[in-house]
Amino acid sequence: MNDLNRKPYRFGRLPGEQGPRPLPSDQGRVEKLATGKNSCTTKNTQKLKLAKNTLTVGTWNVQTLWTAGKLELLRNEMKHFRYDIVGISEVRWTGKGETPNGDFIWSGEESSHMRGVGFLLSTQAKKALLGYNPTSSRIISARFDAAPFKISVIHVYAPTSSSSEEDIEAFYNDIEEALTKTDKKDILILTGDWNAKIGNDNTDWKSVMGKYGYGDRNERGERLLEFATVHDLYVCNTKFQHKPNRKWTWASPDGIHKNMIDLILIQQRWKTSVTNCRTFQSADISSDHSLVLCNINLKLKKPHNRPQKGCRVDVNRLRDEKIKQSYSVVLTKQMKDIEPTCSLEEHAKKIEQAIKITVEATVPAKRTTKKPWISEETLKLADEKRRLKQLRNVSLEYTQQYKGLCKKVKRSARQDKEHWIQDQCEQAEKV
């Protein structure tokens, strides 16, 4: 089955051709004869319920979003996966804030395009977001309404191995400060590029990591494990037995050196809720880091009282004489109903209400199209690049083709943005 045509999936077996299975009725009959019980229906119902209440948290170092169309390419790539909250490292955007549609929040430097962290949110996560705190260009935290408790997620981007010990200690002090601002009742999850190798030996660290780590441990890895011990955290990446290519999260350009440095940590009392955690090498964003996703048996809550969206009026339609005349007639009628004896404050409110009623009754709403400015051609090139990523280790020819497509995608996205800006300018001139 073509990888590009697959629907978003969780962990486990991918959708595809599967062999025949015994009918549920036959399974129940055999089970009843053997054990005297029939729990087939109960088990199936429970599994469906667990799948529905699964929260998927992730981390990914994309190396940069400071290139034309990179965020749109990230959104397009994540359509291949089921996710709720994904921490993004090396955003390289300045300032802090959120995108207009609210699916991406970030925290960066004031002026330089260095470091930067953020969260990519699903539609459900956007609705459950209670607030976020852009601490620095290395740390951002967000709080979500969930069941059975609210969830606080902290995403980090640790200093590289070339940084000094002072930088490392300052980084962990900043995390300590961020932890003090979280509610003690919240379920705490930490994601990020920790630039630390914790290895696969958990002899002295069984409370904070499992026995399925990867590679060797370094000093930065020991520092991370000490931090996890103090705060009763557990490294989810080490809990499950996976193939090596589902463990390591970073690879050198030549593919020789591989490390597990992008990690997801959760409070130890909630580690039994973690059902899987693995790396996805198929995810492609032109980065030497891989996407890590973790499934947790938690549920984001839906807001009961959604804020009503304001009516977007096309003011330019008032230039039409018929609409203008109709607007004037209705507004005059509405103004006559206002009593002159009311107070100044009430008078102002009634005038505002009269204008609002008149606009809704006479002026057509503004039609907005939610089409991304990036072209279909660029997205097709990105999908082809994704396919070649899986083949680049087969031969040198595929490697060269992959590098060539990386350049083509960047060039095509840059041209798309230039065309979009030009179209916006032309539309503004017409208005």
CA distance 379 to 402: 15
Instruction: Please state the pTM of the whole predicted model.
Output: 0.69
Q: Domains along the chain?
A: 49-300 (3.60.10.10), 315-362 (no CATH), 376-430 (no CATH)
In sequence order, what are the residues at sequence separation of 6 or more whose Cβ sits closer than 8 angstroms to the Cβ of residue 91?
Answer: 62, 64, 65, 66, 106, 108, 115, 116, 117, 118
Helix axis angle, 40-52 to 24-35, nearest 10°: 120
Is 208 within 8 Å of 225 (Cβ atoms)?
yes
Q: What is the mean pLDDT of the chain?
A: 82
Closest CA to 230 of 193, 260, 190, 192: 190
In sequence order, what are the residues at sequence separation of 6 or more whose Cβ sits closer than 8 angstroms to the Cβ of residue 118?
Answer: 65, 87, 88, 91, 93, 104, 105, 106, 107, 140, 155
Radius of gyration of the chain (CA): 27
CB count within 10 Å of CB 390 equals 14
Question: SS3 of 329, please?
Answer: helix
Banded pLDDT at 426 (limits 50, 70, 90): low
Residue 359 tokens read as 């606009």
- pLDDT digits 0-9 by tens, 312-351: 666 667 777 887 788 888 888 888 777 777 777 887 888 8
CA distance 362 to 389: 55
CB count within 10 Å of CB 246 equals 19
pLDDT, position 13: 38
Please state the rounded mean pLDDT for residues 368-380: 69
Give the percent of the chain with pLDDT over 70: 80
- pLDDT digits 0-9 by tens, 185-206: 999 999 999 999 999 999 999 9
